[in-house]
Every structure is written in C-alpha cells, then in structure tokens.
Amino acid sequence: MRNKLFILLSLIVAVSMVLAACAPTEVVKTVVVEKEKEVVKTVEVLKEGQTVVVTATPEPVVVAEFMSKDPTTLVEVGFGEAEGLDPALAYESAGIGVIQNIYETLVFYNKEKSAEFVPNLASEWTISEDGLTYTFKLRPEATFSDGTVMTASDAAYSYQRGILQGGTSSPQWLFTEPLFGIGTDDVALLVDPEGSLYDDQEAMKAADPAALVAACEKVKAAVVADDAAGTLTFNLAQAYAPFLPTLANGWGSVMSKAWVVANGGWDGSCDTWQNFYAVNSEDDPFSIIAMGTGPYMLESWTKGQELVLVRNPNYWRTDPIWEGAPVGPAAIERVVLKKVDEWGTRFAMLQAGDADFATVLRDVIAQVDPLVGEKCTYNIETGTYDACEASSDQALRLWIGAPNVSRTDVFLNFNIANPAEGGNPLIGSGKLDGNGIPSDFFSDVHIRKAFNYCFDWDTFIQDALAGEAIQSVGIPLPGMPGYDLNGPKYSFDLAKCEEEFKLADVDKDGIAAGEDPEGDVWTTGFRLQAAFNIGNTTRQTVAEILAGDLAQVNELFSVETIGLPWPTFLRNQRALTLPLFISGWIEDIHDPHNWYQPYILGTYGRRQSLPADLKAQFEAQINAGVAESDPAKRSEIYAKLNQEIYDAAPQVILAIPTVRHYEQRWVEGYFTNPILGFYYYAFSKK
C-alpha cells in the first residue's frame, strides 16, 4: 500500500511542477497517506485555478512521557546484599556500594573517570617531590549527619583504626603496603615480621606489649593530624603511584571518632588496639550501623530482604563535587535496595515499573531488550556515552558498551579444609575413591591444567555474556602494563584435558594416572561440588559448562553445582572449605598490582590456600612491578610473571565483558564508573 501511495504522490507532484497558476487556494480534501502509531502524515490537495498543488503536513510526533509513580524513592533490586557496613572491614561490592553513599573520602572519582580524582572532604592536597608525603587540607564546613563537625583528628583516627583493626579479609593491605613497605599486607607484620599472628585474635592479644605499642605508634606516625591547621598527612614508606585512588574507595571513609568510641569501638589508645584486631563481620558493631558525612543515612536494614537509605537533610555540600553535580540535600529522599534472588521476580518488578533498575545478567537480556525504548552507546574514543537515541515508547533505557573493570573467574583450592568433626560435604568422601576428592586434589599441577583445558570459553561468552566479551589473556585487564594480547593462555581442548589428567599423580605413588595399574584419578574418577552465589546465573553457567566439559572427557568425573547465599559463600571462601568456586574481582584501583596481588598473594591467594613456595616464586616480581614507575619496564617484569602463572595454572581465567545497565526512562543522572558503582546523590526521577 505504501508503495502505491508513493507512486501516486510522485505523479501528482510531477504534474504540479508543469502547471502554474496564481488563483487563491482552496482546500478540496485531505487524504491520510500514512499512519504509524500516533504519527499521522497527510496530503492536502489544493485547487488553484487549473493547478493541483500537493503539500505534505506531518503532525507533530507525540513523545511519550515517562513519569515515576513515586519520584521521591529509588528502588534497586538485585540478588546480593551487603555483608557489613564498617568501612575498615567491608571488602565486597554490595557493602562498599552502600558505604560510598553514607560515608565520604578525602578525594573522589571525577564522575565517570576511574583514574581521575577531585577534592571531596579535602579541598586540596600536596605531594612532596620524592612522593613520600601527602598532605590534605580538610574542609572546615564538613559535618557528620549527627551535626558534629568533622576534624583532622577524626580523619586520622579513621585510617589508624582501620589499619590496626586489619585482618586479611579486610581491604587494609591497600594502606599497609604504601605506608609500611610493599609486601606488608597486614598490621600483624608490624608486631611479628614472621607472620605468625595473621588473623589470630587471641595470639595478638597475648603478644609482647612493647611490640604492640610500637606497632601502634608506627601507624600513628604514618597518619598524622593537625587540627589547628586542618590538615592530614600521610608518610609513605616508598613512592606509590596509585595512592590517590587507594584513598577514593570505601575503605578511605572518614568516621566520627566520638561516635565510634560511643558505640563500642577502639578508644584510640595504643594500649588497647589489639582487642579489636581481625574482627569478623558478625562481631563488628559497625557492620549493622553507620553514621558519616555523606548525602545519605542508614534508615533500616532487614537482612535478606532490604536495606533502606534516607537522605541526610543537613548535608554539608554547598559546591558541586564535579561540574553539573548537585549541592545540598539529595534529590532522592529514600533509596530502597531490595534483595531479590529470583530473576522472574526482578523482571516482573522492572516490567511493572516497581523497580527503577535491576541486576540483569547477560543470559536473560533477550527478555529485557524488547522493553528498551532508548539506547545510550559508549564511545571508546571520547570515554563517555554518545547522545541517547529513542527508538520506541518502551519504558526502559539501556546504557551499553562501556569497558568493565571486573571479571568472574574459577578459583581452585590447593588445600581444602576438611574438619575432623563433620567432614566437608563439598569434597564427598574426602578420598580418591570415585565418591570424593582428597583435600590436596588441586595441588597437582596437571589437575589444574586439565581443568583449564576443559573449559569452553566460546560457549561461555555466547551463552552467558551474549557474545559481548573477550577471553582474558592473563590476570590484569587490557591496556594495563602486563596485559599482552599475544601472551600465554589456555584454550578449550578436550584432548589436552585428557592428556593432563593422565599425567596427574593424585595418589602420589610416583606413577602417572594414565599408566597406574593400581588406579588413579583417570580410572577411579572423582566427585566434588563447585560453588557460586545464589542468583548469579552467570557464575552458575560457568560451573555447569565446566561440569559438562569434564564429563565429556571422562564419565567418571562428576562436578556438582551448588548455590550458596552471598554471606555463606564468603564465609566458606574464607574458611577454605570450597574446593572450587566461581567468584569475581572488581578492581580497587585501576592498576595491574590490584589484580596480581589479590589473585596470588592476597585475597584469593589465601582463599585458594596457595602454598608458600609458590607465593614466594611470584612475590618478588609482583613487588618489583608495583615499585616500578616506568610502564615499559613494568611490562617486562610482568611478562615473565605471566608465563610462570600460566605454567602453574592456579585459576581458570575467564573473560572480560562490557557493561550493560537497564533503567526506567524516568531516572536521570546515571553515569558509568565501574569502580564506584551507583552514587545515588547524582540521581533524580521525573
């Protein structure tokens, strides 16, 4: 029909170009040519003496209004929740995401730029020529939400408390390394350099009192307040290029000393700090309460259901943190973070407009994309999004294409905890009998290599990440020193997987499994459980792909998948009971050290029970890499490190996806800073 009308219209126009007349016009009739949704195009046929004139007069496009039922409240639904809200201890994305809206730091990210920083609680700062001294001028107008004025002493106390509280499950290694030397990953080493006190609360309390006081005084000398001048000074052990970004995240939050002490925290004395060392989230009073200088306050938290933030009505900010940012109290009065593990429920809330945005994993985007009426595409050249383009009156807006600074990987435990009482059901019988695995199953390098060869990256990227990812080459991210696209990486190869299993010697009799007449892993088989956090279907897919690929190689190989609630998942990682787990890392600072250190020496190195000799093999190069300021020289150091890590195969390194964010079109203020997460102060709703 459209083609016929177009031909007719063309003929009429051609006639009008030949004929001419000057008589007054008169509309004879109006013909509807096209109707699409609410857009109507018409042709008016006019009589001018003997002339027929055709004019097209499209009616104005009607743009749908997207208005929230409640513009005062922002509702976010996801499958995880915070473990705790103590800035000194929280070291997982959900908790830090909340902390960054209640508390504030000396410097902050420059909006979407994860490697640029703007003044926050500090109005300015200086760095000495040798890079060892950072001095921050604090804002005298900054106040806590209880109305008290923030002082330099509050800031110094916050850092001192965090470092002294320490513990290897905390983020405090990010401060102990620059302040006390690379490789000093916990305050315990300031008391006993041999490392015998790591995470041992009772042993720390029983340590030499003089050594305890000396460690505390060393911490206080590294972080010094001057209330009269309104300054805070950090004295570093060596130049440390990523120190500013270290200060910008949740663990750099400033707390009120008076409030912390009043609620059972450390009193600031060097005689008592050991009583607070390596506290866990369950015993930390500041895991469930919060009071900072930020734009929001904690209103309520019902574990397993929702956490509610309410805006700070007396928020101190009178000048924008970055150009175009708000000032004064937040536009959104209340933020409700709902824990909804089941995707169908999250999807229904998004459809109904009951959620302003929701966690949408890649394996379900086909359900959500038809609801998108506006798309905002990231421009890699400009480092920001191009203008959003509307395509329909559907209710959702999609932000797509920004590079991610996080990754999910498979972690293998070299020495799985198997308590004498109760055992460990995740490793079955705990023996190499076909119904379990021994605790040291993954200490065999051929087993680890076999698991690497037995993972199908292409299927994972297509099925779980909608094809919007690339296989990672090594531990750091693209663009960083140490990332080499042509570096060593494993590929999906079932023949090589079989070969490595046959080279293994799990029973340690000196005979390779493929030749062992008494039987070994190849002829006996194994059974174990691969863990992920409930609701994270991407990680579940990883476990299922690995299980299926292993079963293809040998039907005696059984990997069962098990989903655990997020807090339970974390506790079991730290307790070393998970034989194989699928977890992720969001970088703390945009630097390769923040990937190598946690994967080998720190967070995941510990949770994988990496043996001391393997850590020692890598440690010198990791430490040399972070101490080197020349990117080319850093890359040389990391190239050798990458080969050694590849040969040891401690993890199965997966893929780097890009970012997708879906939200209702009445939401305004979103920007992408993958390290920061959602900064609710920037949001408003129509």
pLDDT digits (tens, 9 = 90+) for 590-617: 899 999 999 999 999 999 999 999 999 9
Total domains in the fold of the chain: 3
Model pLDDT, residue 16: 42
pLDDT band per the 50, 70, 90 thresholds, residue 59: low
Q: Are residues 6 and 41 in the same domain?
A: yes
Q: How confident is the model at residue 2 (pLDDT cuts 50, 70, 90)?
A: very low
The 10s digit of each residue's pLDDT in 214-234 is 999 999 999 999 999 999 999
CA 470 to chain centre: 18
Task: Give the residue-averaged pLDDT of 447-475.
Answer: 95
Average pLDDT in the 138-166 region? 98
Mean pLDDT over 80-85 rounds to: 94
pLDDT at 677: 85
Window from 138-152, 308-322, 478-492, 522-536 with minimum mean pLDDT: 478-492
- Residue 63 pLDDT level (bands cut at 50, 70, 90): low
Q: What is the pLDDT of residue 224?
A: 98
Same domain? For 37 and 137 the reply is: no
What are the structure tokens assigned to 474, written together? 């090594």
The whole-number pLDDT of residue 25 equals 40
Chain-wide mean pLDDT for the chain?
A: 91
- Return the CATH number at 539: 3.10.105.10
% helix, strand, coil for the chain, step of 5: 35, 25, 40
SS3 for 48-87, per residue? Answer: ECCEEEEEECCCCCCCCCCCCCCCCEEEEEECCCCCCCCC
Average pLDDT over residues 330-349: 97
**Is residue 624, in this structure, part of any structural domain at all?**
yes
Residue 505 included in any domain: yes
Q: Based on the fold, state whether residues 43 and 166 are members of the same structural domain.
A: no
The residue ranges of DSSP E strands in 293-420, in sequence order, are 296-302, 306-311, 334-339, 357-358, 372-379, 384-385, 389-390, 396-403, 406-412
Quick one: 475 and 609 in the same domain?
yes
* pLDDT band of 80, cuts 50, 70, 90: confident
Residue 30 has pLDDT above 70, yes or no: no
pLDDT at residue 42, rounded to an integer: 43
Closest by CA position to 116, among listed 357, 321, 385, 328: 321
**Is the domain of 508 the same as that of 651?**
yes
- 308 is a domain residue: no
Q: Comparing 130-144, 249-263, 462-476, which segment has the lowest mean pLDDT?
A: 462-476
Domain boundary among 255, 290, 325: 290
Mind spelling out the 3-state secondary structure of 164-208?
A: HHCCCCCCCHHHHHHHHCCCCCCCHHHHCCCCCCCCCHHHHHCCC
Q: Do both 551 and 642 map to the same domain?
A: yes
Residue 576 in any domain: the answer is: yes
| Residue 630 binned pLDDT confidence (cut-offs 50, 70, 90) | confident
The CA distance from 463 to 8, in Å, is 49
The pLDDT confidence band at residue 534, using thresholds 50, 70 and 90, is very high
| pLDDT for the residue 627 | 85
Same domain, 414 and 279: no
Same domain for 446 and 588, yes or no, is: yes
Asked if residue 321 is part of any domain, the answer here is no
Evaluate if residue 34 carries a pLDDT over 60. Answer: no
Q: What is the pLDDT of residue 674?
A: 81
Evaluate whether residue 683 is within a structural domain. Answer: no
| Average pLDDT estimate for 497-511 | 97
- Look at residue 58 in the predicted model and tell me its pLDDT: 54
Work out the pLDDT band at 56, boundaries 50, 70, 90. Answer: low
Domain with residue 163: its CATH number is 3.90.76.10
Domain check: are 43 and 171 in the same one? no
**Are 46 and 122 part of one and the same domain?**
no
- Asked if pLDDT for residue 6 goes beyond 80, the answer is no
Identify the three-state secondary structure at position 600: helix
Mean pLDDT of 256-271: 98
Q: For the chain, give the percent of residues with pLDDT over 70.
A: 91
**Residue ranges making up the domain that contains 197:** 83-94+104-290
135 in the same domain as 281: yes
In a domain, 62, yes or no: no
Please give the average per-residue pLDDT across 396-425, as a whole number: 93
Separation in Å, CA 491 to CA 353, 541, 553: 43, 18, 15
CA-wise closest residue to 195 among 541, 631, 606: 606
Residue 65 has pLDDT above 90, yes or no: no
> Pick the residue with more confidence: 14 or 346?
346
Q: Is 128 found in the same domain as 39?
A: no
- Tell me the one-letter amino acid at 225: A
pTM above 0.95, yes or no: no
Structural domain contains residue 128: yes
| CA–CA gap between residue 451 and residue 437 (Å, rounded) | 14
Domain final residue, candidates 290, 319, 338: 290
